[in-house]
Structure 1
Amino acid sequence: MGFINQTSVSDFLLLGLSSDPKLQPVMFGIFLFIYLVTVIGNMFIILAIKSDSHLHTPMYFFISNLSLTDICTSSTTIPKMLVNIQEQNLSITFAGCLTQACFAMLFLSLECCLLAAMAYDRYVAICYPLRYTVIMNWYLCRLIILFSLLSSTVNALLLSLMMLWLSFCKTLEIPHFFCEITHIIKIACSDTSINIIMIYIAGLTFGGITFSGIVFSYIEIVSTVLKIPSVQGRYKAFSTCGSHLSVISLFYGTGLSVCISSSVTDSPRKTALASVMYTVVTQMMNPFIYSLRNKDMKDALKKVIGIMTSL
């Protein structure tokens, strides 16, 4: 098999989730529906929080940032897939592939940071309720968002730019619906050991450390809630964490399923199908989780919908 340097790479081929021509219109319809629901649902969450002064709290500030991140994540992966299906063209330029991989890593890393920040917010609210407004001040909240964005950006840029030193085989087929960095590395013909080490470091940093922070926060939360004498008090404390726990379970659970599927199956297509859950479905489900399980959010959404329908 021949080798080509990245500078001469013109196009990669995104093979998608299926090569069956009969399934392409169905997949186009499904993913278009998912994308529209994701964008509209998360936009409603952002508008509801912004328009209701009662929701101008750290918890909802992080939720609105999570919704914006979900929109960006879906917009990074789905539109190119829809265009390829519509035009019956699997190609994506090297620059476009690298850019897509960079933004996908950026927003998925940012989602990990936001989920950890939201866990810390619940930890402070339940374990230190009298000091909550002092600890979770707006300066700290904005600093957390800024640090999360900067660290995610540096991580994504570093991993993406390291791809420029790779050489690729002449067969530039990526068995995925978007340019996922591990799949790009697999088709490289040069030494990728440094790239793989950096990916593991990034995974431990944004996956392992943030998840450890979430686990620690909820251990402390459970310990504090169990000390509350009344059942009603325990339920009220736990109820504020319900939506966040659902989102965490969905995001990290589906991410873990991708890791398991990639280790037990030799089929890249099956791994790509599993990755749909944490890169597409999770982003669509988050607005429903936060709106259906939260009375304040429901009321704010009703107001926004009422204003929009009256125009």
Structure 2
Amino acid sequence: MDRFQAMQVFTRVVDSNSFTRAADSLGLPRATVTTAVQNLENLLQVRLLNRTTRRISLTPDGAAYYERCARILADLEEAEASFREVARGPKGRLRIDVPAPVGRLVLIPRMCEFHSRYPDIELAIGMGDRPVDLVRESVDCVIRIGELQDSTLVARRIGTMETVTCASPDYIERHGEPVALADLQQHRAVHYFSSRTGRIYDLDFVVEGEVTEVKVPGKVSVNDADAYVTCGLQGFGIIQPPRFMVQAHLQSGALREVLPQWRPSPMPISVVYLQNRHLSPKVRAFVDWAAELFGRCPILGGCDQTCSKAEPKDGDMRQAILGLQAVEAGSY
């Protein structure tokens, strides 16, 4: 019996708490199982198990060896499974989490394409407005907006999000069109506030390479992206949503861009997943497909690069609109 088989026998004995049950589950004679454990003890020159007529228990050395065996065997099984899955295609349940506007406007319209390509993947899409803990909540990967900083997770940049300052023609007819940032003090903005902190996010603009926040008076505050855009369409004030959310309204004339000479800075779009030596085929399939999807979309400025150990920094209004207001450590 080789070393790996002996390790499998030993871990099965520990898991079943019985030489007899271990032998039955492995389809081996009980004497073979006993001999395998004895040979391991002789090889390691330590006692792995305490044996009595009624029960067995791990020695301290046995417990340490068991943990290492379990980890080695799990890695081996994962490696073998990954090659089997490559041969027959990725399959299984894949849980992702995305900002609601990204899910509704970008991913959901292309789901048929994804399932045609990967028919054996069951996709569960979360579109909440809060950060998620990938480990605790068993989420495989997430799509997030914003600059990234170091963490234990891995991010692959797949696109760029632009924000546009705009208002309805009715609003502009009633209040005039601002031509300078100082003019905004005589205007109204639809305010977006954090559902977690209540903080109202100001409009921001890039002026000579620096981000400048501008407080604009307003009569309406919301904490939902669709409501934010709707209020702008209804003429309640100037809004600053992601361009991909309002491109159709800009083309139809329902909204008009204002102050185009001072646009907010673009923000990276990343798909984020757990750091793992053996990336699951189903996760890899989704990550590659998402990168391809965003790369085909000019308005999202496809950009494909890998950035390991990444975590979003504190959010601004654009992140808040996409449900990314406050990011907890290790969560997305």
Q: TM-score, normalised by structure 2?
A: 0.22
Give 1 or 2: higher helix fraction: 1
Please tell me whether Structure 1 or Structure 2 has the larger radius of gyration of its CA atoms.
2
Ranked by relative contact order (alpha carbons within 8 Å, sequence separation 6 or more), the top structure is: 1
